[in-house]
Structure 1
Amino acid sequence: GIVQFKKVSIYGTKVPHIPKELFIDMHALVEFNLHGNELERIEEGAFDNSPNLVELHVYDNKLTHLPNNLLNKLVLLESVYLSQNSLCVLDEDTFKGLSKLKVLHLENNQLETLPAHIFNDQDSLTELHLKNNKIKHIPEDLLANVKSLKEVYLSINEIEGLPRDLFKNTPDIQVIEVSDNPLRTLDNIFTGLSKLKKIILSHNQLTSIPDGIFSGLSSLFELDLSGNEINKITPGIFKGLNGLKSLELRSNTMTIIEPSSFDDLPSLTSLSLEKNKLASLPPEIFHKNLELMSLYLSENEIEGLEKEIFSNLANLKRLDLYSNRIKNFESATFKNLKQVESLYISNNKLHTISPKMFEGLTSLTDLYISNNPIKSIHCEPFQELSSLYSLIIEDVHLESFPSNCFSSMKNLSTFTIRNSKLNVLKKGNFAGMDSLKNLHLTNNHIKNIEVGAFEGLSKLESLSLNQNHLTEIKADMFTGLANVDLLILSENKISSIDSDIFALIPHLRHLYLNSNNLHKFKGDEFTMIKNLTQLDLSRNAIESFPSDIFKTLTSLTTLTLDYNKLKTLEKGSIPVGHQLEFLSVVGNDIDDIKSGTFDDFESILNLDLSNNTLKHINYDMFQGLRNMYSLNLEHNEISDLNPNVFDNLPELRQVRLAGNKLDDSVVEAITRKYPELVLNDI
């Protein structure tokens, strides 16, 4: 029977009360899981008949207190999970006798205080979780007998100070987390903790760190002091941290870093100083950090950098200087950074990309130069960047750039120029960029593209020219783009398209022409793009189409015609696409759909007619759409809808009708007639 069970789980139910007699004679039970049951009360003695319990889960319930002797007979317990309850107070004898307890979870409760001797019998405890309570005071003797403790978590409480001798008897401790508290000062609380590996003190109210406070922590590899109010770093703070790998100092109020402050950190690989108020840095501040791989200096007030500041960082891979006030980088600033792969210099005050600026960055793969008042680019600095994989130039005042400027970047895969004053693309602009796959030229002032501008881009797959000033698409404009799959020309001023242009892009499958001035078509515009699967013509001024305009688009599956001027739909209004599956004609002021409109559209699966002015829906409107699965009629003016209207649509499963003028009785009638039909958002 039940006495043989070793593991029992009861979770996800509503069991507000566990009586003493509920689990009689369960002596073999080793693991008991009661989580997520809205449990409010457990009677004293409820677990007395399970003396062999090793693991107890009572988390995610509504317990406000525990009976004094609830756990006292469970002397074999090793893990107890009491997190995510509403415990306010714990009795001093709550864990009495549990000498084998190793893991204790009390996080996410309402605890305000802890009895000084509550853990007196827990000399085997290795993990103590007290995160996210309301604890204000930590008794000095709280951990006096917890000699095996390795990890303690006290984050998200209301602790203003930690007793000096709190960790005096925990020589094996490895992790101390006390983030998100109003902690104002640190005494010498880490003395003798030679095995400590990780200290998290982020998001407190520390204004200064005493010199030598971390002395002797030879095993420490991670120290997080971010989100405090530290305004100054001095040389003695990090004394003795020879093994430290990661130092987080971001989001403080730091204005000064004294020379030699990081000299005692020879093993440091990651240093974060972003989001401070640093205006300058000592010239040799990083000279002893030979192992540094990631350096974060973004969102400060740095106006300039000493020429030799990075000269000893031969192992650096990531350098972030985003959002400062840097006007210029001297030649050779990056000369010795031969391992750097990512450089962020966006949001500064750079007026030009000067010669020798990127000298030495032979391994650079990602370069971000956004939001600088750059008016000119010298080509010489880009000749150094043969390994570059991604180049992003955004929010600059650039009007043009010389031909062959980027010809040495043979490995570049993604090139972005966005939000600039670039007004013309010249022949040779992209020469030599043999590996380029994605070219984004978005939100510029481009109004002219010279013949041959894209020559050499044989591997290009995606070209974005949206949000420019193009007025027409001419033949030969896209010479060299034989493998382009995606072409975005939306939000220009295009009013005409030369049909021959698409002969140069035989593999084109996705074409976006939305938000232009297209309204008259000759009928041959798309005859040369037989592989097209997606076409967006929304937000133009289209009133009608030539009857055969889509005839050659035998692969077209998605057609978007939103916000045009189609008005009334009848047979031929939308030229037939034999493979068309998704058709959207949102916001066209369509007030009527004539019988036969969709006679040849059997392949349609999804039809969107929302935001039009349809008043009536009749039986013949959707004739021919035998495979349609989803129909959107939201936000029309429909007041008359016969329940029989969907009889000839055998595959229909979803109809959206929100924002119309239908009576509840009509909706109920449809629901009764088509019980499997989902009527969304009515």
Structure 2
Amino acid sequence: MGFCGWAAGTLWKTLILVTLPHLTCHALCPASCLCGLDGGVQCHGNTIADVPELLPVNASQLLLDRTNITVINKQSLARLRELFDLDLSSNRLSSLASGLFEGLTNLTNLNLCKNSIKKFPPTIFHNLTNLRVLAICYNELEVLEAGIFDDLVNLVELKIHRNKITSLPLHVFWALRNLKTLTLSSNRLEAIPEKSFYNMPKLNKLNLFNNPLQLSCNQLFPNCWICEPPKLFANYRLSSIPATSHQRYVQLAPLFCRSLLCHNKQQAHPPSTAFNAVVWACPGGCKCQETKILCSGLSDFPTSVPGSTTELWLYDNRLRRVEDGAFRNLTQLRLLVLSRNQISSVSTGAFGGLEHLEEISLHTNLLTTLQAGLFQGLPSLVNISLEHNSISSLPSGFLRGLSSLGEIDLRNNSFPNLKQESLDALAIAKDVLLQQNPWRCDKDILPLRDWLKKHTSKTNQTLVVCETPFSLSVITVCTSHSAPFVMIKCTSQRSLYCCTSRTDVACADDEPIVPSCGKHSLTSDSKHLPLNLKHIEISSTPLTLIPVGVFRGLPNLEKIILKLNKLRRLENGLFDGLVTVTELQLHGNEIESIEAGTFDSLENLVMLHLAKNNLSTVSTDWFSKLHKLQTLRLYENQLTTIPDDIFVNLPNLKEIGLQDNPWHCDCNLIPLHLWMK
């Protein structure tokens, strides 16, 4: 039996599971830290100015980053002899004491990036013979002392990019015979000593991008190394470029080279293991892990992303547009995440050339339309995430050519209906998520209703529910009938939904009352509204405030919808006397504060929708009188934690939506974790 056959109104208990890290708050852990049962210790925050005392001596991992520490005493780490992972990045260190790491012979990973260190003591890394990864990038280093790396015989990766180094000591890397990756990009190197990389048999990636160098492979490696023609020209000057290459590429850019491939003539390396020199630097604002790149804090798309990238994560940035060819060089890309930005426009050719792309995420942006042909030329695409936007229609043939499409997520957009040609396009997907849209069940909903009945396996049809008219608001689209459908005509900025039924919305002599909301405020006078009004909607307006008194004298109200406005705060008294209201929708506003007592009169409230606002805190007192509340939605706010007693007065709560908040997953979330269990 398909989902259409299920009874409408079935209650679903939806739990947004929060998985807490294995952390404990026991007394043996410093107050400013979190200590895991597996030996991990995390100490973060601007309140930390010194290395915490009494760190567990059995700690195997110490993440002491993003603090205000300026100096580390030599004895601060001496007891932590079981450490294998030490992260001191993003602090305010300008120097390190000689012998600071003495005795930490088990260290395999050491991160000192993003400090202000200008010079290391010559013996700072001595005796760290087990170290495999050393990161000293994003500092103020001007010189490297001779012999500084001599004891790092097992080092595999060395990151020195984003410093101010002007020269290298002779043979400074010769002890690193196991090194595979060396990153020296974005320094001030003007020359490299001859034979600097001769004694490094396992080196297969050397990054010298963005240095004022002029060099060729013959200057870097023994005579057994030869150069192929450069593949790309951009941002890097080379002195030896074959004439054929110049003739071929001169139209692309000035004579700058970004890619230089060098091959060992004495070994038959396949192309996949060829030495790759002067290829790329991890773009600014990004973290790079092999072929995965994650970027944050960006207003523009990163430049110089390597063509070998398979995953590009650009979520939680400030990107606004995606232009044609934005990713044209990323021909190996398989995952592209553009969610949680401010993207309002994506050009038709934005994803051109991404023939291997399998998944694209554009959820939680400002999209209102999609361009026809946006996903053409992506034969490998399996998943498309477009949820949490404001898309109201789909262009004809927008999924043409996607023979492998598995899931397309269109939840929580602005679809009132879907045209037949759009539904025909969706039929190629295995799963189609359509819930949480403002489906308007008039005659234009019939194509969607029939499509749902035909494709029972593609979507959970019990969740695709009419939002308007209010008389059908608990009816699923696929179980509704054509008889009740009437033409509904409203202004584009309606304050009350218009229909022909006096009990559904405000009507006088069968004419709808539609006060103007084309301004930023309402008057508190409601005397022109009939006393029998049950449902009211004020949506998609520029209103920033609804004053106390607007709903006074409307004792029969059952549903209030105030979504997609610009409301910034809710005042105590706004809902006074509304004891019959069971549903209150306030999502999609800019609410930052709610006065205590605002919801106290809503004693019969069953559903409260506060998602997609700017709430950074919630108070237990807000919900203390809502004993009948079953659904509470707080997703996509700015919450980092919630009170541990928030559920005390909510005995009937069945659904709580908390996803997509910037949670601090510490001990304060344990009550939520236990409640969900």
Return the TM-score normalized by structure 1. Answer: 0.44
Structure number with the bigger relative contact order (C-alpha 8 A, sep ≥ 6) is 2
Whichever structure has more helix as a proportion of its residues is: 2
